[in-house]
């Protein structure tokens, strides 16, 4: 037998998401066609059955996420992929997955504009929606990809976090990352670290489906494995049954939030470039982080002490990572393909020492390295505050 070797391949972001999902052992996909996400469904329809998995095209996105949650309840890792309009339709059931703590991954390849918007243009307009789209206080994890390689690794990470914390994880991509082809060397499946949900260790009679471990995460039984239990979107007690008892209700809410707070150091992912001695820095995510990287490198060449903090985890917002740099630097530039959604978060966590400067573009085009560079030059000269 020859040993498997890594191969270099030319992939689109959407294809890399497919590879990442399969490497993370995703075995179920339900979706509804939508640009610019359709390639994910198309490829999984070919590849999932070959690994004993299941693909289904549902009648809409509400049904898609419903099927995904159903599949996950049987112990199968499941995902869907969509774009803005479909993501809007998914919100109610997304909340169900948060409340009932059903692991799943939802990819939103962002397009421009509200409503049907700009189907074939990149944007980052769904960032706050990813955080707060479903009603009620709820925990959620939102990750953003900026490259083809990211699309692979972050998708794997998304499944791992979903399983570990029993939570839906949203992966935000955008039209540019989704459709750009890059040459990448992907790890072999055997090299990919895969996390699975913790199964109950006690006999079925002792199983309380929502009794959490010290991390705040309850072990999860699968339908059919002998641990008959009840799953509901109503506020429930440890036994999984609806309750209106104020103490139980409060406990339910607090634990959902606490399980994420306890895992922050594991969940909050960022990448730092030239941050150690930075006097001003850029906070960017998604395809904009690529432009920002180039701009920062150019600025360094011009003698400007600029840095880049790339956010991979958008929510829970990585406040603790940001805080020291907000103290260290005189300015932070937040370029986004929206009218200011992450800049709100930066402003929120800023204690007032640092000037938070927005750079927004909503014409369906990318923010260029030059645009960011020009702002960095001005900021370093102290002409903009």
**Whole-number minimum distance, CB 186 to other proteins, in Å?**
17
Task: Return the number of the residue (50 or 381) whose C-beta is nearest other proteins.
Answer: 50
Residue 52 dihedral angles phi and psi, to the nearest 5°? 65, 20
Residue 220 Cβ vs other proteins, minimum distance, rounded to whole Å: 13
* Residue 116 CB, nearest approach to other proteins (Å): 20
CB 166, min distance to other proteins, A: 16
Among residues 132 and 241, whose Cβ is nearest to other proteins?
241
- Both tokens of 234, joined, read 């109503």
Distance CA 144, CA 4 (A): 30
Rg (C-alpha) for the chain, rounded Å, is: 21
Separation between Cα atoms, residue 133 and residue 66, nearest integer Å = 16
For other proteins, the closer CB: 134 or 173? 134
Q: How near is the Cβ of 208 to other proteins at its closest, in Å?
A: 11
Which residue's CB is nearer to other proteins, number 49 or number 382? 49
Angle, nearest 10°, between helix axes 13-23 and 38-47? 40
| DSSP calls for 78-89 | EEEEE-HHHHHH
Residue 378 neighbours by CB under 8 Å, 6+ apart: 384
Residue 307 CB coordination number (10 Å): 24
Reduced to 3 states (helix: H, G, I; strand: E, B; else coil), residue 185 is strand
Nearest distance, CB of residue 249 and other proteins, angstroms: 17
Write the CB contacts of 320 (distance below 8 Å, at least 6 apart in sequence). 264, 268
Work out how close the CB of 22 gets to other proteins at its nearest, in angstroms, rounded to a whole number: 12
Residue 28 or 165 with smaller CB distance to other proteins = 28
Residue closer to other proteins by CB (options 75, 369) is 75
Site residues (vs other proteins, CB under 8 A): 27-28, 30, 46-50, 52, 54, 56, 58-60, 62-76, 78, 92-93, 96, 222-226, 228-234, 239, 241-242
> Would you call the peptide bond into 77 cis, given omega within 30 degrees of 0 as the criterion?
no
Instruction: State the nearest-atom distance from the C-beta of 65 to other proteins, in Å.
Output: 8
d(CA 101, CA 231): 9
For 356, the token pair is 């938070």
The structure tokens listed for 95 are 């909340």
Q: Which residues pair with 29 in a beta bridge?
A: 55, 79
Q: Is the alpha carbon torsion for 129, 134, 139, 144 positive or negative?
A: negative
User: Would you say 93 or 151 has its CB closer to other proteins?
Assistant: 93
Our CB check for other proteins shows the closer of 58 and 377 to be: 58
């Amino acid at each position: 037998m020859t040993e498997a070797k890594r191969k270099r391949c030319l992939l689109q972001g959407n294809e890399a998401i497919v590879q990442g999902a399969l490497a993370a052992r995703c075995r179920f996909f339900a979706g509804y066609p939508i640009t610019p996400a359709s390639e994910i469904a198309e490829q999984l329809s070919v590849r999932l059955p070959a690994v004993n998995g299941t693909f289904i095209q549902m009648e809409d996105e509400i049904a898609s996420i419903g099927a995904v949650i159903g599949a996950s309840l049987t112990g199968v890792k499941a995902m869907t992929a969509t774009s803005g309009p479909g993501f809007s339709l998914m919100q109610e059931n997304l909340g169900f997955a948060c409340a009932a703590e059903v692991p799943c991954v939802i990819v939103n390849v962002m397009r421009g504009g509200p409503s049907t918007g700009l189907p074939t243009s990149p944007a980052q307009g769904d960032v706050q929606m990813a955080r707060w789209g479903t009603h009620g206080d709820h925990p959620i994890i939102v990750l953003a990809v900026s490259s083809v390689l990211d699309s692979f690794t972050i998708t794997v990470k998304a499944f791992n976090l979903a399983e570990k914390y029993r939570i839906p994880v949203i992966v935000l991509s955008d039209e540019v990352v989704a459709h750009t082809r890059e040459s990448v060397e992907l790890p072999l499946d055997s090299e990919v670290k895969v996390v699975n949900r913790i199964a109950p260790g006690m006999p079925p009679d002792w199983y309380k489906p929502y009794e959490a471990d010290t991390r705040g995460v309850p072990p999860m039984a699968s339908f059919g494995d002998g641990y008959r239990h009840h799953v509901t979107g109503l506020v429930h007690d440890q036994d999984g049954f609806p309750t209106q008892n104020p103490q139980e209700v409060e406990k339910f809410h607090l634990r959902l939030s606490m399980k994420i707070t306890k895992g922050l150091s594991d969940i909050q992912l960022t990448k730092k470039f030239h941050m150690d001695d930075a006097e001003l820095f850029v906070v960017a995510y998604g395809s904009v982080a690529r432009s920002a990287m180039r701009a920062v490198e150019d600025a360094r060449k011009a003698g400007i002490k600029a840095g880049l903090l790339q956010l991979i985890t958008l929510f829970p917002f990585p406040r603790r990572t940001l805080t020291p740099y907000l103290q260290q630097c005189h300015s932070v530039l937040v370029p986004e393909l929206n009218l200011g959604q992450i800049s709100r978060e930066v402003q929120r966590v800023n204690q007032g020492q640092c000037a938070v400067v927005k750079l927004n573009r909503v014409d369906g085009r990318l923010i260029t390295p030059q645009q960011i560079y020009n702002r960095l030059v001005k900021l370093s000269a102290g002409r903009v505050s």
